[in-house]
Structure 1
Amino acid sequence: MRSSEKMGSRIKDSTGGVLEMEAAVLGDELVVGCIGAGKMARGVLGGLLLTGKVPAKNITVSAPTDTNLQYFRDNGCNTTHSNSDVLSQCRVIFLATKPHIIPTVLEEMKHAVTPQHVIISMAAGVSIQTLQGLTPAGTKILRMSPNLPCLVQEGMVVICRGTAAGQREVDMLKNLLSVCGMCEETPESYIDIHTGISGSGVAYVYLFAEALADGAVKMGMPSALSNKIAAQTLLGAAKMILQTGEHPAKLRSDVCTPGGTTIHALHELEKGSLRATVMNAVEAATKRARELDKR
Protein backbone atom coordinates (compact mmCIF):
# COMPACT_ATOMS: atom_id res chain seq x y z
CA MET A 1 0.00 0.00 0.00
CA ARG A 2 1.64 3.22 -1.14
CA SER A 3 0.32 6.74 -0.91
CA SER A 4 1.49 10.34 -0.75
CA GLU A 5 -0.85 10.84 2.22
CA LYS A 6 0.45 10.45 5.73
CA MET A 7 -1.45 7.51 7.21
CA GLY A 8 0.86 5.99 9.78
CA SER A 9 4.28 4.48 10.24
CA ARG A 10 6.59 4.27 7.25
CA ILE A 11 8.83 1.37 6.45
CA LYS A 12 11.31 1.57 3.57
CA ASP A 13 10.92 -1.15 0.97
CA SER A 14 13.71 -2.78 -1.01
CA THR A 15 13.33 -0.35 -3.93
CA GLY A 16 13.61 2.70 -1.70
CA GLY A 17 9.88 3.37 -1.77
CA VAL A 18 7.72 3.88 1.27
CA LEU A 19 5.16 1.51 2.74
CA GLU A 20 2.60 3.43 4.77
CA MET A 21 0.60 1.61 7.39
CA GLU A 22 -2.66 2.82 8.83
CA ALA A 23 -2.26 3.27 12.58
CA ALA A 24 -5.70 1.84 13.29
CA VAL A 25 -4.61 -1.48 11.83
CA LEU A 26 -0.96 -1.79 12.74
CA GLY A 27 -0.45 0.57 15.65
CA ASP A 28 1.88 3.55 15.75
CA GLU A 29 4.81 1.53 14.44
CA LEU A 30 5.02 -1.70 12.49
CA VAL A 31 6.03 -4.38 14.97
CA VAL A 32 6.30 -8.01 13.90
CA GLY A 33 6.08 -11.10 16.03
CA CYS A 34 6.72 -14.73 15.22
CA ILE A 35 5.66 -17.80 17.18
CA GLY A 36 8.16 -20.45 16.22
CA ALA A 37 11.82 -19.96 15.34
CA GLY A 38 12.67 -22.68 12.81
CA LYS A 39 13.97 -22.49 9.25
CA MET A 40 10.96 -20.75 7.71
CA ALA A 41 10.81 -18.19 10.51
CA ARG A 42 14.48 -17.54 9.99
CA GLY A 43 14.03 -17.28 6.23
CA VAL A 44 11.20 -14.76 6.39
CA LEU A 45 12.38 -12.66 9.33
CA GLY A 46 16.00 -12.92 8.20
CA GLY A 47 14.95 -11.23 4.97
CA LEU A 48 13.24 -8.42 6.87
CA LEU A 49 16.41 -7.90 8.92
CA LEU A 50 18.71 -8.08 5.91
CA THR A 51 16.83 -5.41 3.99
CA GLY A 52 15.91 -3.25 6.97
CA LYS A 53 12.19 -3.44 6.21
CA VAL A 54 11.57 -3.91 9.93
CA PRO A 55 14.27 -3.00 12.48
CA ALA A 56 15.41 -5.76 14.83
CA LYS A 57 14.05 -3.89 17.86
CA ASN A 58 10.57 -4.20 16.34
CA ILE A 59 10.72 -8.00 16.00
CA THR A 60 9.82 -10.41 18.79
CA VAL A 61 10.20 -14.18 18.40
CA SER A 62 9.03 -16.92 20.74
CA ALA A 63 10.00 -20.58 21.00
CA PRO A 64 9.78 -23.13 23.84
CA THR A 65 13.58 -23.52 24.08
CA ASP A 66 16.65 -21.39 23.40
CA THR A 67 17.94 -23.62 20.60
CA ASN A 68 16.53 -21.69 17.65
CA LEU A 69 16.25 -18.31 19.36
CA GLN A 70 20.00 -17.62 19.38
CA TYR A 71 19.99 -16.53 15.73
CA PHE A 72 17.42 -13.86 16.49
CA ARG A 73 19.23 -12.73 19.65
CA ASP A 74 22.46 -12.42 17.70
CA ASN A 75 20.64 -10.14 15.26
CA GLY A 76 19.21 -7.88 17.95
CA CYS A 77 15.63 -9.15 18.00
CA ASN A 78 13.56 -9.58 21.14
CA THR A 79 13.10 -13.21 22.17
CA THR A 80 10.83 -14.89 24.67
CA HIS A 81 9.44 -18.27 25.69
CA SER A 82 5.97 -16.74 26.06
CA ASN A 83 3.59 -16.63 23.10
CA SER A 84 1.44 -14.18 25.06
CA ASP A 85 4.35 -11.73 25.14
CA VAL A 86 4.49 -11.81 21.34
CA LEU A 87 0.79 -11.13 21.10
CA SER A 88 0.85 -8.23 23.55
CA GLN A 89 3.86 -6.55 21.94
CA CYS A 90 3.11 -7.05 18.23
CA ARG A 91 0.24 -6.51 15.83
CA VAL A 92 1.53 -8.58 12.89
CA ILE A 93 1.97 -12.18 14.05
CA PHE A 94 3.52 -14.98 12.02
CA LEU A 95 2.70 -18.54 13.05
CA ALA A 96 5.72 -20.67 12.16
CA THR A 97 5.16 -23.74 14.32
CA LYS A 98 4.59 -27.33 13.24
CA PRO A 99 1.04 -27.78 11.92
CA HIS A 100 -0.07 -30.09 14.74
CA ILE A 101 0.87 -27.43 17.31
CA ILE A 102 -1.30 -24.69 15.75
CA PRO A 103 -4.53 -25.59 17.65
CA THR A 104 -2.70 -25.48 20.98
CA VAL A 105 -1.04 -22.17 20.16
CA LEU A 106 -4.26 -20.52 19.00
CA GLU A 107 -6.19 -21.83 21.99
CA GLU A 108 -3.59 -20.19 24.22
CA MET A 109 -3.70 -16.95 22.23
CA LYS A 110 -7.36 -16.47 21.44
CA HIS A 111 -8.28 -14.57 24.61
CA ALA A 112 -5.73 -11.88 23.68
CA VAL A 113 -6.36 -11.59 19.94
CA THR A 114 -7.90 -8.24 19.00
CA PRO A 115 -9.31 -6.74 15.77
CA GLN A 116 -5.99 -4.89 15.41
CA HIS A 117 -3.99 -8.11 15.08
CA VAL A 118 -3.09 -9.65 11.72
CA ILE A 119 -2.41 -13.40 12.06
CA ILE A 120 -0.33 -15.00 9.30
CA SER A 121 0.04 -18.77 9.26
CA MET A 122 2.94 -20.57 7.57
CA ALA A 123 1.68 -23.99 8.71
CA ALA A 124 1.14 -26.50 5.92
CA GLY A 125 -2.15 -28.35 5.94
CA VAL A 126 -3.99 -25.90 8.23
CA SER A 127 -6.80 -24.24 6.28
CA ILE A 128 -8.16 -20.72 6.59
CA GLN A 129 -11.42 -22.25 7.83
CA THR A 130 -9.58 -24.08 10.62
CA LEU A 131 -7.61 -20.97 11.58
CA GLN A 132 -10.77 -18.86 11.68
CA GLY A 133 -12.49 -21.49 13.82
CA LEU A 134 -9.67 -21.28 16.36
CA THR A 135 -9.66 -17.48 16.65
CA PRO A 136 -12.28 -14.87 17.62
CA ALA A 137 -14.82 -13.90 14.96
CA GLY A 138 -13.50 -11.10 12.75
CA THR A 139 -9.82 -11.92 13.27
CA LYS A 140 -7.73 -10.90 10.26
CA ILE A 141 -6.23 -14.17 9.03
CA LEU A 142 -3.83 -14.73 6.15
CA ARG A 143 -2.22 -17.97 5.09
CA MET A 144 1.13 -18.24 3.32
CA SER A 145 2.99 -21.13 1.73
CA PRO A 146 6.75 -20.48 1.42
CA ASN A 147 9.49 -22.69 0.06
CA LEU A 148 13.04 -23.34 1.26
CA PRO A 149 14.87 -20.81 -0.97
CA CYS A 150 13.26 -18.06 1.13
CA LEU A 151 16.36 -18.68 3.24
CA VAL A 152 18.45 -17.07 0.47
CA GLN A 153 15.83 -14.50 -0.58
CA GLU A 154 15.01 -16.39 -3.78
CA GLY A 155 11.87 -18.14 -2.60
CA MET A 156 8.38 -18.47 -4.01
CA VAL A 157 5.51 -17.65 -1.67
CA VAL A 158 1.77 -17.77 -2.31
CA ILE A 159 -0.70 -16.17 0.07
CA CYS A 160 -4.46 -16.21 0.56
CA ARG A 161 -6.76 -14.24 2.81
CA GLY A 162 -9.49 -15.05 5.30
CA THR A 163 -12.89 -13.41 5.29
CA ALA A 164 -11.91 -10.54 7.61
CA ALA A 165 -8.62 -9.67 5.90
CA GLY A 166 -8.77 -6.92 3.30
CA GLN A 167 -6.55 -5.53 0.57
CA ARG A 168 -4.62 -3.46 3.11
CA GLU A 169 -3.47 -6.57 4.94
CA VAL A 170 -2.66 -8.39 1.68
CA ASP A 171 -0.59 -5.44 0.41
CA MET A 172 1.24 -5.22 3.72
CA LEU A 173 2.12 -8.93 3.66
CA LYS A 174 3.17 -8.91 0.00
CA ASN A 175 5.45 -5.97 0.70
CA LEU A 176 7.04 -7.72 3.66
CA LEU A 177 7.43 -11.00 1.79
CA SER A 178 9.00 -9.36 -1.27
CA VAL A 179 12.32 -9.82 0.55
CA CYS A 180 11.83 -13.60 0.34
CA GLY A 181 11.75 -13.62 -3.46
CA MET A 182 8.46 -13.67 -5.37
CA CYS A 183 5.03 -13.44 -3.73
CA GLU A 184 1.61 -13.95 -5.33
CA GLU A 185 -1.91 -13.90 -3.90
CA THR A 186 -3.96 -16.92 -5.01
CA PRO A 187 -7.19 -18.70 -4.09
CA GLU A 188 -6.65 -21.06 -1.17
CA SER A 189 -7.33 -24.01 -3.47
CA TYR A 190 -3.98 -23.28 -5.17
CA ILE A 191 -1.98 -23.64 -1.94
CA ASP A 192 -1.67 -27.42 -2.26
CA ILE A 193 -0.73 -27.14 -5.93
CA HIS A 194 1.97 -24.67 -4.93
CA THR A 195 3.26 -27.30 -2.53
CA GLY A 196 3.43 -29.79 -5.41
CA ILE A 197 5.20 -27.48 -7.85
CA SER A 198 7.30 -25.26 -5.59
CA GLY A 199 7.40 -26.40 -1.98
CA SER A 200 8.27 -29.98 -2.92
CA GLY A 201 9.49 -28.90 -6.35
CA VAL A 202 12.72 -27.57 -4.90
CA ALA A 203 13.68 -31.18 -4.15
CA TYR A 204 12.96 -32.21 -7.75
CA VAL A 205 15.33 -29.48 -8.93
CA TYR A 206 18.03 -30.62 -6.50
CA LEU A 207 17.67 -34.17 -7.81
CA PHE A 208 17.97 -32.92 -11.41
CA ALA A 209 20.99 -30.77 -10.49
CA GLU A 210 22.61 -33.80 -8.88
CA ALA A 211 21.98 -35.87 -12.00
CA LEU A 212 23.42 -33.15 -14.27
CA ALA A 213 26.56 -32.94 -12.16
CA ASP A 214 26.91 -36.73 -11.96
CA GLY A 215 26.71 -36.92 -15.75
CA ALA A 216 29.61 -34.49 -15.98
CA VAL A 217 31.58 -36.48 -13.41
CA LYS A 218 30.97 -39.62 -15.46
CA MET A 219 32.49 -37.85 -18.46
CA GLY A 220 35.59 -36.78 -16.52
CA MET A 221 34.86 -33.43 -14.83
CA PRO A 222 35.66 -32.94 -11.11
CA SER A 223 32.63 -33.03 -8.84
CA ALA A 224 33.07 -29.57 -7.28
CA LEU A 225 33.22 -27.90 -10.68
CA SER A 226 30.33 -29.92 -12.14
CA ASN A 227 28.10 -29.01 -9.18
CA LYS A 228 28.86 -25.34 -9.65
CA ILE A 229 28.19 -25.47 -13.40
CA ALA A 230 24.93 -27.40 -12.90
CA ALA A 231 23.69 -24.86 -10.33
CA GLN A 232 24.52 -21.87 -12.52
CA THR A 233 22.88 -23.56 -15.50
CA LEU A 234 19.63 -23.95 -13.58
CA LEU A 235 19.83 -20.40 -12.24
CA GLY A 236 20.40 -18.94 -15.69
CA ALA A 237 17.61 -20.97 -17.27
CA ALA A 238 15.16 -19.89 -14.56
CA LYS A 239 16.09 -16.23 -14.95
CA MET A 240 15.50 -16.41 -18.69
CA ILE A 241 11.96 -17.75 -18.13
CA LEU A 242 11.18 -14.94 -15.69
CA GLN A 243 12.87 -12.11 -17.56
CA THR A 244 11.83 -12.95 -21.12
CA GLY A 245 8.29 -14.07 -20.32
CA GLU A 246 8.67 -16.75 -22.96
CA HIS A 247 7.10 -20.19 -22.57
CA PRO A 248 9.71 -22.78 -21.52
CA ALA A 249 8.98 -24.76 -24.69
CA LYS A 250 10.00 -21.76 -26.82
CA LEU A 251 13.25 -21.29 -24.90
CA ARG A 252 13.98 -25.03 -25.13
CA SER A 253 13.47 -24.89 -28.87
CA ASP A 254 15.85 -21.93 -29.15
CA VAL A 255 18.67 -24.06 -27.72
CA CYS A 256 18.18 -26.85 -30.25
CA THR A 257 19.85 -26.89 -33.65
CA PRO A 258 19.09 -29.52 -36.27
CA GLY A 259 21.26 -32.58 -35.67
CA GLY A 260 22.99 -30.88 -32.73
CA THR A 261 23.98 -31.99 -29.24
CA THR A 262 20.88 -30.70 -27.46
CA ILE A 263 18.25 -32.48 -29.55
CA HIS A 264 20.14 -35.74 -29.15
CA ALA A 265 20.21 -35.24 -25.38
CA LEU A 266 16.52 -34.29 -25.25
CA HIS A 267 15.65 -37.45 -27.14
CA GLU A 268 17.24 -39.45 -24.30
CA LEU A 269 15.23 -37.50 -21.70
CA GLU A 270 12.02 -38.15 -23.63
CA LYS A 271 12.83 -41.86 -23.82
CA GLY A 272 13.16 -41.79 -20.04
CA SER A 273 9.74 -40.11 -19.74
CA LEU A 274 11.19 -37.14 -17.87
CA ARG A 275 8.26 -34.87 -18.69
CA ALA A 276 5.58 -37.36 -17.61
CA THR A 277 7.54 -38.35 -14.51
CA VAL A 278 7.85 -34.73 -13.33
CA MET A 279 4.15 -34.12 -13.98
CA ASN A 280 3.35 -37.24 -11.97
CA ALA A 281 5.58 -35.99 -9.14
CA VAL A 282 3.71 -32.66 -8.96
CA GLU A 283 0.40 -34.54 -8.95
CA ALA A 284 1.55 -36.92 -6.19
CA ALA A 285 2.79 -34.11 -3.95
CA THR A 286 -0.38 -32.07 -4.52
CA LYS A 287 -2.61 -35.01 -3.64
CA ARG A 288 -0.62 -35.68 -0.48
CA ALA A 289 -0.87 -32.01 0.52
CA ARG A 290 -4.66 -32.19 0.03
CA GLU A 291 -4.81 -35.25 2.26
CA LEU A 292 -2.92 -33.39 4.99
CA ASP A 293 -5.22 -30.38 4.57
CA LYS A 294 -8.24 -32.58 5.41
CA ARG A 295 -6.85 -33.77 8.75
Structure 2
Amino acid sequence: MKKTIGFIGSGNMGGAIIAGLVGSALVSSNQIIASSVQEESLQSLKDKYAIRTTLDNKAVAAEADILFLAVKPNIYAPVIEEIKGAVKENVVIVTIAAGKSLEEIQERFGREIKIVRAMPNTPALVGEGMTGICANEMVSVAELTDVKTIFDSFGRTELISEYLMDAVTGVSGSSPALVFMFIESLADGAVRGGMPRQQAYKFAAQAVLGSAKMVLETGKHPGELKDMVCSPGGTTIEAVAELEKHGFRNAVISAVQTTIDKSIAMSKPAEH
Protein backbone atom coordinates (compact mmCIF):
# COMPACT_ATOMS: atom_id res chain seq x y z
CA MET A 1 0.00 0.00 0.00
CA LYS A 2 1.60 3.25 -1.16
CA LYS A 3 -0.11 5.65 1.21
CA THR A 4 0.88 7.59 4.29
CA ILE A 5 -1.06 6.46 7.33
CA GLY A 6 -1.37 8.96 10.15
CA PHE A 7 -2.36 8.52 13.78
CA ILE A 8 -3.46 11.29 16.09
CA GLY A 9 -3.14 9.69 19.49
CA SER A 10 -0.70 7.06 20.70
CA GLY A 11 -2.63 5.19 23.37
CA ASN A 12 -3.39 1.50 23.70
CA MET A 13 -5.61 1.17 20.65
CA GLY A 14 -3.56 3.37 18.36
CA GLY A 15 -0.43 1.55 19.46
CA ALA A 16 -2.08 -1.83 18.85
CA ILE A 17 -3.04 -0.86 15.30
CA ILE A 18 0.46 0.46 14.60
CA ALA A 19 1.94 -2.77 15.98
CA GLY A 20 -0.33 -4.81 13.76
CA LEU A 21 0.47 -2.75 10.69
CA VAL A 22 4.21 -2.95 11.17
CA GLY A 23 4.09 -6.63 12.08
CA SER A 24 2.14 -7.49 8.94
CA ALA A 25 4.55 -5.57 6.69
CA LEU A 26 1.57 -4.09 4.84
CA VAL A 27 3.36 -0.74 4.88
CA SER A 28 6.86 0.33 5.82
CA SER A 29 7.52 2.04 9.13
CA ASN A 30 8.38 5.23 7.26
CA GLN A 31 4.83 5.39 5.86
CA ILE A 32 3.41 5.73 9.37
CA ILE A 33 3.40 9.02 11.27
CA ALA A 34 1.89 9.55 14.70
CA SER A 35 1.31 12.50 17.00
CA SER A 36 0.38 12.82 20.66
CA VAL A 37 0.67 15.14 23.62
CA GLN A 38 2.40 12.27 25.45
CA GLU A 39 6.09 12.44 24.52
CA GLU A 40 6.92 9.23 26.37
CA SER A 41 4.34 7.15 24.52
CA LEU A 42 5.46 8.59 21.18
CA GLN A 43 9.08 7.79 21.95
CA SER A 44 8.08 4.25 22.91
CA LEU A 45 6.30 3.76 19.57
CA LYS A 46 9.27 5.22 17.70
CA ASP A 47 11.71 2.94 19.52
CA LYS A 48 9.58 -0.18 19.00
CA TYR A 49 8.44 0.29 15.42
CA ALA A 50 10.74 2.92 13.87
CA ILE A 51 7.75 5.04 12.80
CA ARG A 52 7.89 8.81 12.42
CA THR A 53 6.51 10.85 15.31
CA THR A 54 5.70 14.47 16.09
CA LEU A 55 3.98 16.53 18.75
CA ASP A 56 2.18 18.49 16.02
CA ASN A 57 -1.28 17.10 15.17
CA LYS A 58 -1.56 19.41 12.17
CA ALA A 59 1.64 17.99 10.67
CA VAL A 60 0.16 14.50 10.75
CA ALA A 61 -3.16 15.74 9.35
CA ALA A 62 -1.44 17.52 6.48
CA GLU A 63 0.52 14.46 5.40
CA ALA A 64 -1.83 11.52 5.95
CA ASP A 65 -3.80 9.88 3.13
CA ILE A 66 -5.57 7.75 5.72
CA LEU A 67 -5.88 9.44 9.11
CA PHE A 68 -6.77 7.54 12.28
CA LEU A 69 -8.33 9.56 15.08
CA ALA A 70 -7.05 7.44 17.97
CA VAL A 71 -7.88 9.79 20.83
CA LYS A 72 -10.42 9.43 23.60
CA PRO A 73 -14.04 10.27 22.66
CA ASN A 74 -14.16 13.22 25.06
CA ILE A 75 -11.44 15.11 23.17
CA TYR A 76 -12.66 14.46 19.62
CA ALA A 77 -14.22 17.94 19.38
CA PRO A 78 -11.06 19.98 20.12
CA VAL A 79 -8.82 17.68 18.07
CA ILE A 80 -11.05 17.92 14.99
CA GLU A 81 -11.33 21.68 15.45
CA GLU A 82 -7.53 21.85 15.49
CA ILE A 83 -6.91 19.73 12.37
CA LYS A 84 -9.94 20.26 10.13
CA GLY A 85 -8.25 23.00 8.13
CA ALA A 86 -5.05 21.01 7.69
CA VAL A 87 -6.27 17.67 6.31
CA LYS A 88 -5.88 16.77 2.65
CA GLU A 89 -8.86 17.25 0.35
CA ASN A 90 -9.24 13.50 -0.29
CA VAL A 91 -8.16 12.19 3.10
CA VAL A 92 -9.98 9.21 4.54
CA ILE A 93 -10.72 9.78 8.22
CA VAL A 94 -10.89 6.62 10.33
CA THR A 95 -12.59 7.05 13.69
CA ILE A 96 -12.19 4.32 16.31
CA ALA A 97 -14.04 5.92 19.22
CA ALA A 98 -17.17 4.46 20.75
CA GLY A 99 -20.29 6.54 20.36
CA LYS A 100 -19.01 8.81 17.56
CA SER A 101 -21.29 8.54 14.53
CA LEU A 102 -20.42 9.22 10.90
CA GLU A 103 -22.84 12.15 10.94
CA GLU A 104 -21.30 13.73 14.02
CA ILE A 105 -17.76 13.48 12.68
CA GLN A 106 -18.79 15.07 9.38
CA GLU A 107 -20.57 17.89 11.20
CA ARG A 108 -17.48 18.59 13.26
CA PHE A 109 -15.33 18.86 10.12
CA GLY A 110 -17.91 21.25 8.69
CA ARG A 111 -17.88 19.81 5.17
CA GLU A 112 -18.36 16.62 3.24
CA ILE A 113 -15.43 14.36 4.05
CA LYS A 114 -14.61 10.69 3.67
CA ILE A 115 -15.15 8.87 6.96
CA VAL A 116 -14.81 5.26 8.01
CA ARG A 117 -16.11 4.32 11.44
CA ALA A 118 -14.36 1.35 13.03
CA MET A 119 -14.48 -0.52 16.30
CA PRO A 120 -11.32 -2.63 16.69
CA ASN A 121 -10.04 -4.29 19.85
CA THR A 122 -6.70 -4.64 21.60
CA PRO A 123 -5.92 -8.22 20.43
CA ALA A 124 -4.80 -6.39 17.28
CA LEU A 125 -1.52 -6.12 19.18
CA VAL A 126 -0.92 -9.86 18.66
CA GLY A 127 -2.44 -10.13 15.19
CA GLU A 128 -5.83 -11.40 16.40
CA GLY A 129 -7.98 -8.29 16.36
CA MET A 130 -11.67 -8.18 15.52
CA THR A 131 -13.04 -5.06 13.86
CA GLY A 132 -16.39 -3.89 12.60
CA ILE A 133 -16.32 -1.08 10.00
CA CYS A 134 -18.79 1.07 8.09
CA ALA A 135 -18.38 4.17 5.94
CA ASN A 136 -20.27 7.18 4.66
CA GLU A 137 -21.25 7.60 1.01
CA MET A 138 -18.16 9.69 0.24
CA VAL A 139 -15.85 6.68 0.66
CA SER A 140 -15.26 4.70 -2.53
CA VAL A 141 -15.20 0.93 -2.70
CA ALA A 142 -11.44 1.05 -3.30
CA GLU A 143 -10.86 3.32 -0.30
CA LEU A 144 -13.01 1.15 1.96
CA THR A 145 -11.06 -1.87 0.73
CA ASP A 146 -7.80 -0.13 1.67
CA VAL A 147 -9.06 0.52 5.20
CA LYS A 148 -10.39 -3.01 5.52
CA THR A 149 -7.01 -4.33 4.37
CA ILE A 150 -5.34 -2.36 7.17
CA PHE A 151 -7.59 -3.94 9.79
CA ASP A 152 -7.32 -7.38 8.14
CA SER A 153 -3.56 -7.14 8.51
CA PHE A 154 -3.88 -7.75 12.25
CA GLY A 155 -7.03 -9.84 12.56
CA ARG A 156 -10.51 -10.21 11.10
CA THR A 157 -12.81 -7.50 9.81
CA GLU A 158 -16.53 -7.40 9.08
CA LEU A 159 -18.39 -4.73 7.10
CA ILE A 160 -21.52 -3.82 9.06
CA SER A 161 -24.36 -1.30 9.06
CA GLU A 162 -23.71 1.63 11.35
CA TYR A 163 -26.68 0.82 13.59
CA LEU A 164 -24.83 -2.34 14.70
CA MET A 165 -21.73 -0.46 15.87
CA ASP A 166 -22.89 -0.26 19.49
CA ALA A 167 -23.39 -4.04 19.48
CA VAL A 168 -19.88 -4.48 18.06
CA THR A 169 -18.57 -2.40 20.95
CA GLY A 170 -20.22 -4.84 23.35
CA VAL A 171 -19.37 -8.15 21.72
CA SER A 172 -15.78 -7.47 20.66
CA GLY A 173 -14.60 -3.92 21.31
CA SER A 174 -14.85 -4.10 25.09
CA SER A 175 -15.15 -7.85 25.60
CA PRO A 176 -11.41 -8.66 25.79
CA ALA A 177 -11.53 -7.22 29.33
CA LEU A 178 -14.27 -9.74 30.17
CA VAL A 179 -12.28 -12.56 28.63
CA PHE A 180 -9.19 -11.56 30.62
CA MET A 181 -11.31 -11.68 33.78
CA PHE A 182 -12.51 -15.16 32.79
CA ILE A 183 -8.94 -16.36 32.20
CA GLU A 184 -7.87 -14.90 35.53
CA SER A 185 -10.77 -16.66 37.24
CA LEU A 186 -9.94 -20.00 35.60
CA ALA A 187 -6.35 -19.60 36.75
CA ASP A 188 -7.46 -18.72 40.28
CA GLY A 189 -9.42 -21.97 40.35
CA ALA A 190 -6.36 -23.91 39.28
CA VAL A 191 -4.20 -22.13 41.88
CA ARG A 192 -6.76 -23.10 44.48
CA GLY A 193 -6.25 -26.66 43.30
CA GLY A 194 -2.48 -26.41 43.83
CA MET A 195 -1.12 -25.29 40.44
CA PRO A 196 1.57 -22.56 40.33
CA ARG A 197 0.06 -19.28 39.14
CA GLN A 198 2.12 -18.71 35.98
CA GLN A 199 1.45 -22.25 34.87
CA ALA A 200 -2.24 -21.78 35.62
CA TYR A 201 -2.37 -18.66 33.40
CA LYS A 202 -0.79 -20.63 30.56
CA PHE A 203 -3.25 -23.51 30.84
CA ALA A 204 -6.25 -21.18 31.10
CA ALA A 205 -5.22 -18.85 28.27
CA GLN A 206 -4.43 -21.70 25.88
CA ALA A 207 -7.75 -23.36 26.67
CA VAL A 208 -9.61 -20.14 25.81
CA LEU A 209 -7.52 -19.63 22.66
CA GLY A 210 -8.11 -23.18 21.47
CA SER A 211 -11.82 -23.04 22.26
CA ALA A 212 -12.24 -19.82 20.29
CA LYS A 213 -10.38 -21.34 17.35
CA MET A 214 -12.73 -24.34 17.40
CA VAL A 215 -15.75 -22.01 17.10
CA LEU A 216 -14.20 -20.13 14.17
CA GLU A 217 -12.81 -23.10 12.28
CA THR A 218 -15.45 -25.80 12.78
CA GLY A 219 -18.49 -23.60 12.21
CA LYS A 220 -20.30 -25.58 14.90
CA HIS A 221 -22.69 -23.93 17.33
CA PRO A 222 -20.93 -23.14 20.63
CA GLY A 223 -23.57 -25.18 22.45
CA GLU A 224 -22.74 -28.22 20.32
CA LEU A 225 -19.04 -27.83 21.10
CA LYS A 226 -19.88 -27.50 24.80
CA ASP A 227 -21.91 -30.72 24.65
CA MET A 228 -18.92 -32.53 23.14
CA VAL A 229 -16.97 -31.85 26.34
CA CYS A 230 -19.78 -32.71 28.75
CA SER A 231 -19.67 -36.47 29.36
CA PRO A 232 -22.68 -37.93 31.23
CA GLY A 233 -22.03 -37.82 34.95
CA GLY A 234 -18.59 -36.27 34.34
CA THR A 235 -16.60 -33.37 35.71
CA THR A 236 -17.46 -30.81 33.05
CA ILE A 237 -21.24 -30.97 33.41
CA GLU A 238 -20.75 -30.30 37.12
CA ALA A 239 -18.88 -27.11 36.25
CA VAL A 240 -21.58 -26.10 33.75
CA ALA A 241 -24.27 -26.64 36.39
CA GLU A 242 -22.34 -24.54 38.89
CA LEU A 243 -22.02 -21.64 36.43
CA GLU A 244 -25.72 -21.85 35.60
CA LYS A 245 -26.57 -21.83 39.31
CA HIS A 246 -24.73 -18.53 39.70
CA GLY A 247 -26.25 -16.90 36.60
CA PHE A 248 -23.14 -17.01 34.41
CA ARG A 249 -24.90 -16.50 31.07
CA ASN A 250 -27.16 -13.77 32.36
CA ALA A 251 -24.20 -11.94 33.91
CA VAL A 252 -22.33 -11.97 30.58
CA ILE A 253 -25.40 -10.90 28.59
CA SER A 254 -26.03 -8.09 31.07
CA ALA A 255 -22.40 -6.96 30.88
CA VAL A 256 -22.55 -6.77 27.07
CA GLN A 257 -25.86 -4.90 27.20
CA THR A 258 -24.42 -2.44 29.71
CA THR A 259 -21.56 -1.76 27.30
CA ILE A 260 -24.01 -1.24 24.44
CA ASP A 261 -26.11 1.12 26.56
CA LYS A 262 -23.03 3.15 27.48
CA SER A 263 -21.96 3.35 23.84
CA ILE A 264 -25.42 4.63 22.89
CA ALA A 265 -25.32 7.17 25.72
CA MET A 266 -22.00 8.48 24.41
CA SER A 267 -23.60 9.27 21.05
CA LYS A 268 -24.54 12.94 21.25
CA PRO A 269 -25.24 15.52 18.55
CA ALA A 270 -22.31 17.69 17.59
CA GLU A 271 -22.08 20.96 19.51
CA HIS A 272 -22.04 24.16 17.50
Short-chain TM bin: over 0.9
Cα RMSD, aligned residues only: 1.5
Structure 2, unmatched stretches of 5+, are none
TM superposition shift of 1:294: 2.9
Paired residues of 1:196 and 1:282 also in contact (CA < 8 A): yes
Structure 1, unmatched stretches of 5+, are 1-10, 12-28
Distance in 2 of aligned mates of 1:81 and 1:164: 30
Paired residues of 2:6 and 2:65 also in contact (CA < 8 A): yes
After TM superposition, the structure 1 = structure 2 runs for residues 137-286 of structure 1, keeping only pairs within 5 Å, are 137-286=111-260
RCO comparison, higher one (Cα < 8 Å, 6+) = 2
Pick the aligned partner of 2:11 from 35, 38, 41: 38
Instruction: Give the 4+ runs in structure 1 shifted more than 6 A.
Output: none
Question: What whole-Å deviation, never above 9, does each CA across 1:161-211 have from its counterpart, x for those lacking one?
Answer: 123112222211111111221111111121111121222211221121122
- Residue of structure 2 equivalent to 1:14: none
Distance in 1 of aligned mates of 2:259 and 2:124: 20
Paired residues of 1:36 and 1:62 also in contact (CA < 8 A): yes
After TM superposition, the structure 1 = structure 2 runs for residues 62-101 of structure 1, keeping only pairs within 5 Å, are 62-74=35-47, 75-101=49-75
Paired residues of 2:63 and 2:87 also in contact (CA < 8 A): no
After TM superposition, the structure 1 = structure 2 runs for residues 109-128 of structure 1, keeping only pairs within 5 Å, are 109-128=83-102
Distance in 1 of aligned mates of 2:20 and 2:192: 38
- Residue of structure 2 equivalent to 1:287: 261
TM superposition shift of 1:291: 0.8
Paired residues of 1:113 and 1:136 also in contact (CA < 8 A): no
Question: What whole-Å deviation, never above 9, does each CA across 1:5-27 have from its counterpart, x for those lacking one?
Answer: xxxxxx3xxxxxxxxxxxxxxxx
CA separation of 1:135 and 1:238: change in aligned 2, threshold 3 A: same
Identity of aligned residues (%): 40
Distance in 2 of aligned mates of 1:162 and 1:285: 24
Paired residues of 1:98 and 1:123 also in contact (CA < 8 A): yes
Verify: 1:53 aligned to 2:26, yes or no. Answer: yes
Paired residues of 1:132 and 1:162 also in contact (CA < 8 A): no
TM superposition shift of 1:95: 0.6
Distance in 2 of aligned mates of 1:114 and 1:50: 27
Q: In structure 1, what residue type is equivalent to 2:147?
A: L
2:157 is paired with a residue whose SS is strand
- Residue of structure 1 equivalent to 2:79: 105
TM superposition shift of 1:130: 0.7
Distance in 2 of aligned mates of 1:178 and 1:70: 26
Distance in 2 of aligned mates of 1:208 and 1:49: 30
Number of residue pairs the alignment of both structures matches? 268
Distance in 2 of aligned mates of 1:262 and 1:284: 29
Question: What whole-Å deviation, never above 9, does each CA across 1:256-285 have from its counterpart, x for those lacking one?
Answer: 121121112211111111111111111111
Paired residues of 2:115 and 2:139 also in contact (CA < 8 A): yes
Q: In structure 2, what residue type is equivalent to 1:241?
A: V
Q: In structure 2, what residue type is equivalent to 1:38?
A: G
Distance in 2 of aligned mates of 1:280 and 1:76: 42
Q: TM-score, normalised by structure 1?
A: 0.86
Distance in 2 of aligned mates of 1:180 and 1:63: 23
CA separation of 1:50 and 1:285: change in aligned 2, threshold 3 A: same
TM superposition shift of 1:104: 1.2
TM superposition shift of 1:136: 4.4
